[in-house]
Chain A
Amino acid sequence: AQSVTQPDIHITVSEGASLELRCNYSYGATPYLFWYVQSPGQGLQLLLKYFSGDTLVQGIKGFEAEFKRSQSSFNLRKPSVHWSDAAEYFCAVGAYSSASKIIFGSGTRLSIRP
């Protein structure tokens, strides 16, 4: 069955420091992968998506993610975080067993140290 693992529940980084959020997936074919961000009390906003082609994907707000098939990973990165990046981040994979569902990871909460 498809699954998504975000091993870090909570990460704290200093403002201006680089960021990497980990995501590992289990999938039987070429996955469709997504990263979302959720600010407190808000819905989820799509940061970026991977379907095929270039394994380094650029998203909004200066985020990027790299698809590594050999490691079954799709880690999210940002070279320099801002205080406004504090939020919950969700990795997700499009499920092949159903044309409708997306499987979400459990999320990583990002805190920014001033």
Chain B
Amino acid sequence: SQTIHQWPATLVQPVGSPLSLECTVEGTSNPNLYWYRQAAGRGLQLLFYSVGIGQISSEVPQNLSASRPQDRQFILSSKKLLLSDSGFYLCAWRTGDRAQPQHFGDGTRLSIL
């Protein structure tokens, strides 16, 4: 069966520091991968998605970037964190079939001090 792993679960970073959040999927190949951010008490904001290695689509202009160095690895990065980058970050995957749902990781709680 397929599983998705996200780490770390919790992260506290100072303003201006770099960021790297990692997401990996097991048990499937060539998944579509997604990064979402969820502000406190709010819905999901799609940040990036990827349909293949090296292919990244950005949904909103921001201080963050994403990379997909391997088929089942998706990384969210920032060179300098802002206070507004605080939130709950979720990684998700799905197959290329749009009739299939997305499957989510357990999320990373990012707090910027």
Contacts and interface: CB of A to CB of B under 8 A. Distances in A.
Interface string A18-44: 000000000000001010100001111
B43 A99 contact: no
Given A99-B51, A101-B46, A105-B43, A46 B99 contact: no
B49 A32 contact: no
Nearest to B38: A38
Interface string A84-114: 0000001010111001111011110100000
Contacts, number: 58
B66 interface: no
A25 B73 CA distance: 32
A44 B104 contact: yes
Interface string B17-59: 0000000000000001010000001111010010100000100
Main secondary structure of the interface of B (DSSP, over half): strand
Nearest to B57: A100
Nearest to A44: B104
Question: Chain B, interface size: which category?
Answer: 20 to 34
Interface of B: 6, 32, 34, 41-44, 46, 49, 51, 57, 88, 90, 92, 94, 96, 98-99, 101-107, 109
A94 B57 CA distance: 17
Given A36-B104, A41-B88, A44-B44, 8 more contacts: A34-B101, A43-B106, A44-B90, A99-B51, A100-B32, A100-B57, A100-B98, A101-B49
